[in-house]
Amino acid sequence: MSREMPLPKYHQVYLVLREQLQEGRFNEGLPGEMALMKQFGVARVTIRRALSQLAGDGLIAREPGRGTRPLRASASPHAKAQAPEGQRAQLTGLLENLVSMGLRTSVKVLSVETIQASVEVAQALRLSEGERVQKAVRVRSTREGPLSHITTWVPLSIAKDFGRKELAKKPILLLLEESGVKVGRAEQSISARLADAHLAQHLDVAIGSALLDVRRLIFDEDDQPIQWLHGLYRPDRYEYQMQLSRVGSIDAKVWISKELSARFH
């Protein structure tokens, strides 16, 4: 933990462990306090304070003599969220925009692996828990530097035709189409989160910096999920725009999205 970071050491540890818990790294239990002290190079009081904050968030349970174990939510709000029919993003313009961005930026593939789907991933992709998926982690950059940290999960039956080499050359949506998938629609949510140590390193920002948190679930023409994406974007280099139209009768007018676009610099 760096003394130059803007957050206390315990909170830096907390942010890193929270991200790792969300990724399902500690399904068999968290490392002991001594192991965490060695990993982060901090005192025991720092580790205990970080663990206490995680416990207070309901992310872990600490049981004397049995160690520390993660508490999994029964369902992910991101996986279960369903947008009203009129608000679901059609990919006519969005697909072109995403592919264009992929072709106009450079990408570094951090990892590509075949894993068993976690509960959260299985729910999003409508798979059985433990079914195999391809997980890919990439950092996309512009001339100014890192733009986004992207993690994608694709059913292995679809992703078997491409791997690290192909992901380094082409946007994943193009690879899906080349694999015979006919892309249909997408559901997307955008929120915010703070950068942990891992993200801060790859996106060249300070720990605790605000990032745009994008979750995107893409379906084929048969309305089957084919890709789940979790992207973290630097807000100083990326913006998302929506054009909205008012429709309906005068007493029941609603806003619907007319076009989706993303701009980066």
Q: Is the same domain home to 229 and 157?
A: yes
Q: What is the Cα–Cα distance from 140 to 231, expressed in whole angstroms?
A: 10
- Domain of 230, CATH number, reads 3.40.1410.10
The interaxial angle of helices 33-40 and 9-22, nearest 10 deg, is: 110
Mean pLDDT of the chain: 79
Q: What is the Cα–Cα distance from 226 to 217, expressed in whole angstroms?
A: 8
CB atoms within 10 A of CB 142: 17
Q: Is the same domain home to 49 and 147?
A: no
* 4 falls within a domain: no
* Residue numbers of the domain that contains 137: 77-264
Q: Give pLDDT tens digits for 221-248.
A: 999 999 999 999 998 888 776 666 666 6
- Domain boundary among the residues 70, 86, 115 is at 70
Q: How many domains does the chain have?
A: 2
Q: Is the same domain home to 52 and 17?
A: yes
- According to the model, what pLDDT value does residue 78 have? 41
Q: Is the same domain home to 171 and 246?
A: yes
Q: Is the same domain home to 185 and 212?
A: yes
Q: What is the Cα–Cα distance from 199 to 23, expressed in whole angstroms?
A: 13
The interaxial angle of helices 44-56 and 9-22, nearest 10 deg, is: 50
Tokens of 188: 């997307």
Q: Is the same domain home to 166 and 207?
A: yes
- Per residue in 197-224, is it b (16+ CB within 10 Å) or e — as a string? bebbebbebebbbebbbbbbbbbbeeee
Q: What is the Cα–Cα distance from 210 to 232, expressed in whole angstroms?
A: 10
Q: Is the same domain home to 41 and 124?
A: no
- According to the model, what pLDDT value does residue 1 have? 54
Q: What is the Cα–Cα distance from 248 to 222, expressed in whole angstroms?
A: 29
Whose tokens are 């929120």? That residue is 191
* 2 falls within a domain: no
Share of the chain above pLDDT 70, in %: 75
Q: Is the pLDDT at 252 greater than 60, yes or no?
A: no
* 1 falls within a domain: no
Q: Give pLDDT tens digits for 75-110.
A: 343 433 343 333 333 344 454 455 555 556 788 999
- According to the model, what pLDDT value does residue 127 have? 94
Q: Is the same domain home to 109 and 221?
A: yes
Q: Give pLDDT tens digits for 103-153.
A: 567 889 999 999 999 888 999 999 998 899 999 999 999 888 999 999 999
Q: Is the same domain home to 61 and 104?
A: no
Got the DSSP string for 198-254? HHHHHHT--TT-EEEEEEEEEEETTS-EEEEEEEEE-TTTEEEEEEEEEES-TTS-E
DSSP percent split of the chain into helix, strand, coil, nearest 5: 30, 35, 30
